[in-house]
Structure 1
Amino acid sequence: MRFSLIALGLLATGGCASAGARTTAAAPPAASAPAVAQDTTGIGPQYPSTYKRHANPPVLIRNATIMTAAGQEIQGGSILFRDGRIVAVGTNVNAPSDATVVDGTGKWVTPGVIDVHSHLGVYAAPGTFAESDGNEATNPVTAEVWAEHSFWPQDPQIPLAIAGGVTTIQALPGSANLIGGRSAVLKLIPARSVQEMKFPGAHYGLKMACGENPKRTYGNRGGPSTRMGNMAGYRAAFIGAQAYRQRWDKWNKDHQGDRPERNLRNETLAEVLRGNIYVQNHCYRADEMMQMLDLAHEFGFKIRAFHHAVEAYKIADVLAREGTASAVWADWWGFKEEAMDGIHENAALLQQAGARADIHSDDAGGIQRLNQEAAKAMYAGRRAGIPITGRAGLQRRLAGLRSERSGAPTENRLQPGAAMIAFLLAQTIAITGGTVYPVSGPKINNATVLIRDGRIAAVGTNVAVPAGATSIDASGKWVTPGLIDGAGQMGLREIQVVQGTNEYTQRGNDVAAAFNVLEGLNPASTLIAVNRIEGVTTTLAVPGSFALPGESMIWGQAALIDLDGATIEAMRVKSPAAMVAGLSEAAKDAGGGSRAGVTARLRRLLDDAREYATRRADYRRRQIEDLSASAADLEALQPVLRGELPLIVVANRRSDIETALRIGREYRLKLILAGAAEGWMIPGEIAAAGVPVLVEPLDNIPSYDALGIRYENAALLAKGGAKVALMETTTENTRDLRQQAGNAVANGMTWEQALRAVTLTPAEIFGVAGQYGSLDAGKVANVVVWSGDPFEFSTGVEHVFIRGRDIPLRSRQTELLERYRTLPPKY
């Protein structure tokens, strides 16, 4: 995570020698070519690019490591550019007398990062209806619309993307429609109009979408409502476009008769059939990609790339043969049914098969970390034994990662039978020779962690290993406590958009204090295995979502669970662990649409709970005025008022945080802040109140709930004396908690603070530090053995122990990898 990078605003660089300099003629700034190089419509250029390179003085970056992205890595290299063009690259490049010289010692220079799937500008910040211009969801086929006509060059997200090294994007319409309209390739430069940003000569794309999104959007609006309806819709659209193209081609050839009438929808589709507009196809499932390839064959066009393509690895051989690329995520899946079969090794398997894989974002946050996503994809492939070639070195250097370390031993991947479980829990295990990070004290080199009967028996350099103990050699490895995530709905949510799999909220009740999520847990959730094998051993199961907070004021009671156990009781660590309430923008409806109304109602609720505590008998006899909640909810609030049960308050805006602190003082509550996106503005006030904070370091997209949000929030809170724990709020991505921690380090936290923030600090916050959060004798044996620094993408998990059980490093995703490692698959 800790790296320094200089990204240049280039699509690519030419090949260059490892010594000397390669020079190119520095052409003067010139106007652009039209966005499509050849006009075949007979209509003429439409909305052409007006991009111009600016006359800028020469700049020389010297003594840097230059990653050309064409296979060369130049150590101690120099690069000279002028007027927006590279003039020379090599080890001996002389600076002109008027050049600005930049010392690149210890830094890397790369081409600018390109995101082939972005909605910047069409879904602009701060994310209200006014900026929601990505989906023209009025018809399943809207080939006539162009993303550039929605693009806002002043989107506050653009500078954030540039800060992440991104210089060029393909801005696409959304995926609500079968055919959503044209995309445009844009340079992320300051501009007053989108035409000034359009990449000269770049072809337009056509956004198409398969699967769930179109049928979800139009299923109750006249269709399509099925995948076969989707397919019929594409075919009908292209049949109409074929006839339109034929009329125009004939007229363009002989100009006889009346000029055909223009139709904007068919005009775009006819250009697809001519090969001038490239199809960019949102598609998740392998079978649907095969259907879309058949569609392309039927009408004679080519699909340039499948986007998202979480199952592309299942047909990697077919995609290689077709020459169709896949724009994929490194490890984002599970948020809807068609995204359930994603695996870490998707990109690696595609590359191994000879298919083209691109890492894309589809997200205003993810676009800022495409270098990290590429590194995750690369190392996932390497750990699985899949050879990675081409630009792997560049991806590794971009993420500032150490060299590869060995993956988990194969013998640890075997699933023990049920009859062995009791034996495994009772056995003695010695993890020897590792670098141990107890968290409660300094690291210990060449140490032993002794586990007996599910507890840590001893930690140190002079620990005697009993005869008969199972010994694990951790030489060269790092040993830490299991990671603890203070957010999410693990076991309460399987698939975000499938309501039947969600158990984490009590709909229709905005004061749900009596609602305890514990008995809604599903110990058999497939999300548990895929996240615990990444080192997360304990999570807070929350009644609601910190990332997408609902309209409730009191959400209910959260439970702290271990990610192992066949029953709810076996997983339970503490329940209830906290009451959860909302004071963010989303809670306003509970107060009649006003923050002031929410706080007034919360105060009345707490006052009523106090009165109820002293007049229970009168309440039962209905001898007092009606109170603002049911007896069950008022009873559930009693431990909160006594300071026995923490109250987690979700608040992001500074004023909301201050309101939460004020209410906490008034009622002497044991308060925990969650989100606290603008907490960095008042760290001293939060620290003085003794209120801990749950923070998500990877969130920096401004909204009206948190216009002041920034990456450095966690570091500034910690520097100001606040107790900070880190969290990953997206349940299916709980495994990315260590990426959250690594980015917190990159943005100012110390490494030690970050490790504590995902281990001992959350244990302290939730009142279980006597049993969890550090490697100390007597504590529960939640232990992880890593191949190296847990916050580096090159590091793999070698062993995970939960309550002393050596967890098999298997999940549904690892089984998919093994099935499709060779094609055709073995069933």
Structure 2
Amino acid sequence: MPKSFKEYIQLNGYAGNFNPSNSLFYSLRPKKLFPTILIGGLFTILLILYDIHSVPHQYVQYSVGISQELYKDGISKCMMINRIKPDNKFVRTNNPRFVPGTETIILKNGRILNGKGDCILGDIILKNGLIHDIGPNLNDEDAVIIDVKKKFITPGLVDMHSHVGVASWPYLFATIDANEETDPITSYVRAQDAINPNDPAIRIITSGGVTTSLVLPGSGNLMGGEGFVIKMRPVDTMSVDDMGINAHIDPEKERAWRWLKMACGENIKRVYGSVGRMPSTRLGEAWLFRKLFAEARALKQRQDDWCDAASKLGSSGQLNSYFPEELRLESLVALLRGDARLNVHCYETYDIEAIIRHSLEFNFTITALHHALDAYRITEIIKKRVNNNITIATFSDFWGAKKEAFQASTKAPKILADAHIPVALKSDHPVINAQTLMFEASKAHHYGLDEHLSLAAVTSVPAKALGLEHRIGQISKGYDADVVVWDSHPLELGATPLEVYIDGIPQFNTTIFVLGNDVSKPIPSNNINTSTPIMQKPVKPRLASSIVLKNVGKIYVDGNQIIDTTSSTQGDIGIIVKDGIVECIGINCTQPDHISSYEVIDLNGGYVLPGFTAVAPSLGLSELYREPSTTDGRVTAVSDPNNAEGIIYAIDGLKLGGKHLEVAHKAGVFVAVTAPLSSEGVLTGVSMAFETGANSVLEYDPQPIVKENVALHAQIGTQFKYSQIALIRKTLIKNLKQDNIFGRAARGEIPLVVYTHSKDEIASLIRLKIQVENNGGQLNLVILGGTEAHILAVELAKHKIPVILIPLRAIPESWTAQHALTGAPITNKTGIDILYANGVKIGIGVVVSGSERNLIWDAGWAHINSRGLISEKDSLGFISWNLEEILGLNMKDRRLMKGNMANFVAYDGNPFNMNTRVKIVAGGGKNKILIDPDQD
């Protein structure tokens, strides 16, 4: 504050020179002095009060005296701002995360995919937490030597978008900390403060080869907060800080980056618009972005002004103000100064353009656009800032739950790469189980991204986007000793780590003998060519009605009839279809009359399979799951045993011709089984089975409704909040002799499909089946879900209770699924292995709508990872004839038989090979033979 009234007047510009003799006080006559003083005093007080309140913020701040100590503290902060930042371009000779006592390891005779596009046959020395050397015939007298016998070795995978630790398994109210959804602006919160180092997902994710993860806040807020990069290695201290990638580094030598998370589009509108808060529109989103960036820019300018003034005064001087700081804006100022890397969740074209527009206005850099399923449509906009080099951190084929994810294309990674835009693939764990991150790269490769870029998308590209390309993401000298030894080429279907090293420490203690021996694992023919990238030639999809398939390698008619080249000694295997009707199938079916009227297709030894059946969450009832107007609504489940009339039938809400159905159909999924959508209650309704390729329920030849009433569906578990087992028991027994849907289920005329994962709930359901049958019923019980079903495999087989597994690759995401068997290298067996070995009838269902096209790869994974236990034929049954038997679907008229309408999917190779593509989809009616279908 001013030391005197004179100083106050001068500071505020009321007079140039203050002379008391010329003032009001000296010009007053004595008799008028008192009232004048009184009036003048009041006026002066009001004036002072007015001016105090009107003094600019900067003035009040600069009018506060500070100590020399605080002045020097401000100067030190200025020095930090203006210091020369390390460029990380130095030769690393030590890993600050090295654990003393870690053994030196030599991995000999590996095929090293180094993350830079090379495949090198040689050795790797892991020493002192670093990749010490790479080359042929390496030795170290103190090393443990492991001969990997030409197995593939890659850098540890880098997942640049994960919520591991802040959305812990199992999901509990106590452990979900991903979003601080109390305000749309929470740029000041930090993931580091919420990461649970005991999240079971950490070890499971590591078993998939992931060694580094960027843990981000969720996308419920515009500015979600600060992320934290961790190594996926438990530490003895149980310290999250010690798990951090920057733990123990020398900040003078190595730059310690920060990582920010922001989001745009639907999520924020949904969270805050639904409660009447801003933003409820993209207009509001843009305003709040600009408002906060403007505030941060102003704070940055005040700091720069302070530092400029201090530099002129020097260390012996002193300013009468504190160094300007505001914790709420601190991370945003760091972004504007280039000290933080910005990751933005953004899907739509105009959302992407908006955030780029903000970056241009406020001069900050966007490191990566995450998800960005529309990015392939606007490559020039993304490259608008030539030097920005924005990375697109995206999915390979995850799409369709909401509008902003609806325009996705499986070709997107290739399109982006062809435009010289860096592409990373990430999990968004737990949206996708990060244990399967390499499978995202495999799918991207299948859809056209070349081998090197597919591997780089989960190694070197995300490492560079994180600013850590000097230490992770490559197998190079001086890099962290984070490497993965695979049981097959990592881009092959079912590829699984044998061992994962983080900072040179083996995470699963796989023995030398296991690593050194060949793994008994079937690998589909035509496997990945490691020297020549796959290049897809664009082929235009086309329709035909009459075709000849020649040079067919194998035809699966059903589980009992297989035609293949090994059984054929008399001629080629082929199929002739005329006007949509199968005329010939098998040996010598390659030369029809008037062949010129047929399109002849050489399968080059490929497979022909029956169409698949998808037990799907919403096919035919929902197009955009998050948009109520595009669904048939969510039902209120029946909770009254006397209200059979109140049960909902899915067939009444069937909607045909949507994009989800089209995509599923083009992948060979010809039949969908869908139950009414319900998020609460027990008895949810009756499912339907229908042709995915149909356009109307009134179509004929063939009739698109395979079965109107397939099964009575129920769901049990804590989330459904009823006395569930008792209700089901009472409903079935009470209606046993009634001519209604409950009675039909009790008598076994239709299946009762119950969704549950818990071993205890499954045990209670087995007991319920026995009770119903003791009362004269015949319950055809089916378990849907079944994560813990393997524990009761013997009992399930004894009582002839089939299981439809959803998901196939089990995860302990709920309290009632903690006994999930997640597979090698953590568990020797998986749930499906144990169920199969005990004779349980098995099907594989669909987890999320949009992933139906991956059913063939699910079946392949079950076959390949069983290591010879599950045959190719039986694994195909999990997605076709097994489901038909379990659900009582009569598919005789849709079988691949002479005289039937063509109903099959043909591949140009073994469908369990990631190089193989769908060549023909023949199903859904006359003149609907689609050749070279586009998989989008």
Flag whether TM exceeds 0.5 (same fold). Answer: yes
TM-score normalised by length of structure 1: 0.83
Equivalent residue for 2:229?
A: 185
Q: 2:360 aligns with which of 297, 302, 314?
A: 297
Distance 1:754 1:563 in 2: 22
Equivalent residue for 2:587?
A: 461
Contact 2:672 2:689 in 1 (8 A): yes
Letter in 1 for 2:142: D
Equivalent residue for 2:865?
A: 747
Shift of the 806–87 alpha-carbon distance from structure 1 to 2, 3 Å rule, reads same
Over aligned residues, Cα RMSD in angstroms? 2.7
* Aligned-pair CA distance for 1:612: 4.8
Distance 2:736 2:82 in 1: 75
Q: 2:155 aligns with which of 101, 108, 111?
A: 111
Equivalent residue for 2:50?
A: none
Shift of the 508–574 alpha-carbon distance from structure 1 to 2, 3 Å rule, reads closer
Equivalent residue for 1:825?
A: none
What are the Cα deviations for residues 331-382 of structure 1, in whole angstroms up to 9, with x where unaligned?
1111111111110011111110011110011023431112111121122126
Equivalent residue for 2:834?
A: 716
Q: Does 1:808 align with 2:808?
A: no
Equivalent residue for 1:449?
A: 575
Q: 1:398 aligns with which of 486, 490, 494?
A: 490
Q: Does 1:324 align with 2:450?
A: no
Equivalent residue for 2:330?
A: 267
Contact 1:170 1:186 in 2 (8 A): yes
Equivalent residue for 2:180?
A: 136
Q: Does 1:92 align with 2:137?
A: yes
* Aligned-pair CA distance for 1:184: 1.3
Equivalent residue for 1:68?
A: 114
Q: 1:209 aligns with which of 263, 268, 273?
A: 263
Distance 2:579 2:535 in 1: 29
Q: 1:374 aligns with which of 441, 466, 476?
A: 441
Letter in 1 for 2:268: P
Shift of the 812–464 alpha-carbon distance from structure 1 to 2, 3 Å rule, reads closer
SS at match of 1:62: strand
Distance 2:267 2:401 in 1: 13
Equivalent residue for 1:651?
A: 756
Shift of the 456–184 alpha-carbon distance from structure 1 to 2, 3 Å rule, reads same
For structure 1, which runs of at least 5 residues remain unmatched after alignment? Answer: 1-35, 45-49, 417-423, 592-596, 614-634, 815-827
What are the Cα deviations for residues 743-802 of structure 1, in whole angstroms up to 9, with x where unaligned?
222431333321121121112222235527864556663211112221232221110011
Distance 2:538 2:191 in 1: 49
Larger Rg: 2
Contact 2:732 2:743 in 1 (8 A): no
What are the Cα deviations for residues 558-616 of structure 1, in whole angstroms up to 9, with x where unaligned?
111111122124421111111111123333x1x2xxxxx21112222223323655xxx
Shift of the 39–393 alpha-carbon distance from structure 1 to 2, 3 Å rule, reads closer
Distance 1:772 1:202 in 2: 65
Contact 2:539 2:932 in 1 (8 A): no
Identity %: 28
Contact 1:583 1:660 in 2 (8 A): no
Equivalent residue for 1:169?
A: 213
Distance 1:408 1:543 in 2: 41
Contact 1:62 1:104 in 2 (8 A): yes
Distance 1:394 1:176 in 2: 26
Distance 2:698 2:435 in 1: 41
Distance 1:303 1:145 in 2: 19
SS at match of 1:564: coil
Letter in 2 for 1:119: H
Shift of the 348–429 alpha-carbon distance from structure 1 to 2, 3 Å rule, reads closer
What are the Cα deviations for residues 189-236 of structure 1, in whole angstroms up to 9, with x where unaligned?
113111101112441111110111111111124211100100000111
SS at match of 2:416: helix
SS at match of 2:843: strand
Equivalent residue for 1:503?
A: 632
Distance 1:210 1:553 in 2: 37
* Aligned-pair CA distance for 1:406: 8.5
Contact 2:105 2:145 in 1 (8 A): yes
Distance 1:468 1:746 in 2: 43
* Equivalent runs, 1:619-634 vs 2, <5 Å: none
Q: 1:764 aligns with which of 875, 881, 885?
A: 885
Distance 1:721 1:498 in 2: 41
What are the Cα deviations for residues 311-340 of structure 1, in whole angstroms up to 9, with x where unaligned?
110122332434111100001111111111
Distance 2:790 2:584 in 1: 39
* Aligned-pair CA distance for 1:248: 2.4
Contact 1:430 1:451 in 2 (8 A): yes
Equivalent residue for 1:599?
A: 725
Distance 1:807 1:492 in 2: 25
Equivalent residue for 2:848?
A: 730
Q: Does 1:792 align with 2:837?
A: no
SS at match of 2:815: coil
Shift of the 409–184 alpha-carbon distance from structure 1 to 2, 3 Å rule, reads closer
Shift of the 208–488 alpha-carbon distance from structure 1 to 2, 3 Å rule, reads same
Q: Does 1:196 align with 2:242?
A: yes
Distance 2:537 2:297 in 1: 55
Contact 2:918 2:932 in 1 (8 A): no
Q: 2:620 aligns with which of 491, 494, 508?
A: 491
Between stretches 528-537 and 396-405, larger displacement belongs to 396-405
Distance 2:170 2:453 in 1: 38
Contact 1:241 1:266 in 2 (8 A): yes
Contact 2:302 2:324 in 1 (8 A): no
Contact 2:666 2:935 in 1 (8 A): no
Distance 2:263 2:538 in 1: 41
Distance 1:715 1:316 in 2: 45
What are the Cα deviations for residues 724-750 of structure 1, in whole angstroms up to 9, with x where unaligned?
111113122111112222222243133
Q: Does 1:562 align with 2:691?
A: yes
Equivalent residue for 2:550?
A: 432
Equivalent residue for 1:692?
A: 802
Equivalent residue for 1:519?
A: 652
Distance 2:726 2:201 in 1: 35
Q: Does 1:288 align with 2:421?
A: no
Q: Does 1:233 align with 2:288?
A: yes
* Aligned-pair CA distance for 1:65: 0.4
Letter in 1 for 2:391: A
Contact 1:578 1:648 in 2 (8 A): yes
Equivalent residue for 2:670?
A: 537
What are the Cα deviations for residues 631-690 of structure 1, in whole angstroms up to 9, with x where unaligned?
xxxx22222122111111112111111112222222221111111111111111111111
Contact 1:482 1:784 in 2 (8 A): yes
SS at match of 1:182: strand
Letter in 2 for 1:235: R
Contact 1:64 1:106 in 2 (8 A): yes
Shift of the 498–527 alpha-carbon distance from structure 1 to 2, 3 Å rule, reads same
SS at match of 1:342: coil
| Number of corresponding residues | 723
Distance 1:767 1:799 in 2: 27
Letter in 2 for 1:377: A
Equivalent residue for 1:822?
A: none
Shift of the 341–812 alpha-carbon distance from structure 1 to 2, 3 Å rule, reads farther
Contact 2:616 2:674 in 1 (8 A): yes
SS at match of 1:507: coil
Distance 1:391 1:730 in 2: 24
Distance 2:429 2:293 in 1: 30
Contact 1:415 1:810 in 2 (8 A): no
Q: 1:553 aligns with which of 682, 686, 705?
A: 682
Equivalent residue for 2:370?
A: 307
SS at match of 1:808: strand
Between stretches 57-66 and 637-646, larger displacement belongs to 637-646
SS at match of 2:834: helix
